[in-house]
Structure 1
Amino acid sequence: MNAIQLFHDLTFYAMYAAAVLALFLIVERQLFFVFGARDAARLLRSMGLESDFKPSIDSQMLERKTVPVQLVREALHARGAVSDPAQLQDLGEAIYIAGKTRVNARLWVLDTIVTAAPLLGLVGTILGIIDTFAVLASSGISDPSGVSKGIGTALYATALGISIALFGLMFYNYLRERADHLNDQLKELLLRVAGVDHGDQAQAAAPVRAERHTLHAAR
């Protein structure tokens, strides 16, 4: 096996590994968002919309380990330990940023796979064609089937890379939407825990919705 053939095979192994990693990330993130959104919805329902807008949360619910529950637990602790409204707001923002980071975790890996897979496929195609021409130069066209097989394998690399990218892109956009929705839920939860009134909550949540709308428009 020559060096070109070796690198050609390595590009296939890299694409297969990228496909497996993408599938794992899709399943893992989907489960994360399903359980996170479910607990966030339960917390929002348990808090309700009382006139004083004070949270009323089932203690058993706070024992769960999903991101929304952890953020609410931290926010309740901060609310009990801090009396200054400005400091409480700063702590709420810090808690939200930490939760948002966890929500968006590892999506960049899927985005990288979407970008890199077609490039790996193109590299595999180029190396395959180079290897085919090398065979032609050494043995001529005495075996047309071998030449056709080499070109077919080279083109298969491009097709595989594009297929992985399309598959990953479809689920990346879907997971990005789920992440935005969960981040909105986290923001609403923290606003409710802070005890703001309904009008202030709507005003504070507006920039989040506007930012999300801008991101969708940019796509």
Structure 2
Amino acid sequence: MNATLVHDLIFYVMYAALAIAVVIIIERTIWFAWTQRQAKQLEKQMTTDTMTLNELPEALRRQTSLPVKMIEPVLEKKNGVSSEAMNDIMDAQYLLSKPAMTRGLWLLETVVTAAPLLGLLGTVMGIMDTFKALAASGVSDASQVSAGMGTALFATGLGIAIALLCLVSNNFLQNRMERINELLKVLLLRAATPTRASNNEGWKEKGVQRYA
């Protein structure tokens, strides 16, 4: 096994992982910010009396955002199904939103775990390569030994740095995702709440008088 080749390949893999992680971090940060803004705007405009998407501002309806896609099926079934069926629809819509929310985050979690291990493997291979070169040439110059060891240890440092970057970014994105999930739950509850007229009809059918 060529330790030098493996050592170089490990560096290439770590740099590729860093590039992928940076792309995911930037894309998720932008997507979460846009989705959270859409959810907040929708939360301000929508009430429990909203029956269809057409009652919302056109600027919100034109946006194919996750919040709009989530509440549309709920509004379509509003006042037309039982409470148990509506709960099932709400649960289904919430679960269907998960893949869009978590897209790419598993890669960050993988890099957090794998980067230090790759760095350690690169260090081991670098040390093996250094000792092999010393054994072959019989070099006794301490500066050459230090240079080889420094290159080997750089792999561990790079792996730890990549892992820290991905860990902090992943925690930030998870916090942002939790805030968006809370807004989505509020929107689903508002979209599923029966209107006052529907409540009145239900009370009349049951012969129960409504008190102000």
Tell me which residue corresponds to 1:178: 176
Deviation at 1:83, TM superposition (A): 2.0
- Amino acid corresponding to residue 131 of structure 1 in structure 2: D
Q: CA separation in 1, counterparts of 2:108 and 2:77? A: 35
Cα deviation 1:35-73 (Å, max 9, x = unaligned): 00000000000014xxxx322522431221121121122
CA contact (8 A) 1:62 1:70 kept: no
Shift of 1:102: 1.5
- Pair 196,150 (structure 1): closer, same or farther in 2 beyond 3 Å: farther
CA contact (8 A) 1:100 1:183 kept: no
1:1-16 pair list within 5 angstroms = 3-16=2-15
Query: Which protein is bigger by CA-based radius of gyration?
Result: 2
Q: Does structure 1 residue 38 correspond to structure 2 residue 37?
A: yes
Question: Residue type of the partner of 1:68?
Answer: P
Alignment check: 8 A CA contact 2:18 2:162 kept: yes
Residue 163 of structure 1 aligns to which amino acid in structure 2? A
Aligned to 1:109: 107
* Structure 2 counterpart of 1:215: none
Measured in 1, the distance between the counterparts of 2:61 and 2:85 equals: 24
Residues 156, 196 of structure 1: alpha-carbon distance in 2 compared, 3 angstrom cutoff: farther
Distance 1:41 1:17 in 2: 36
Q: Say if 1:103 and 1:182, in contact at 8 Å, map to a contact too.
A: no
RMSD of aligned alpha carbons: 1.7
What residue number does 1:21 align with? 20
Gaps in structure 2 of 5+ consecutive residues = 196-212
Cα offset, 1:109, TM superposition: 0.9
CA shift digits 1:65-90 (9 cap, x unpaired): 1211211223223337x422211210
| Number of matched pairs | 191
**1:96 pairs with 2:94:** yes
Shift of 1:144: 3.4
> Which residue in the other structure is 2:185 paired with?
187
Matches within 5 A, 1:73-152: 73-79=72-78, 82-152=80-150
- Amino acid aligned to 2:145: V
Using structure 1 for the length normalisation, give the TM-score: 0.82
How far has the Cα of 1:162 moved from its partner? Answer: 0.3
User: 5+ unaligned residues in a row in structure 1: which ranges?
Assistant: 198-219
Give the fraction of aligned pairs with identical amino acids, expressed as a percent: 42
CA contact (8 A) 1:62 1:73 kept: no
Partner SS for 1:79? coil
Q: Which of 141, 160, 163 is the matching residue for 1:162?
A: 160
Residue pair 1:8, 1:127 contacting (<8 A) in 2 also: yes
Deviation at 1:142, TM superposition (A): 4.0
Provide the secondary structure at the position in 1 that maps to 2:49.
coil
Distance of 1:16 and 1:10 partners within structure 2: 10
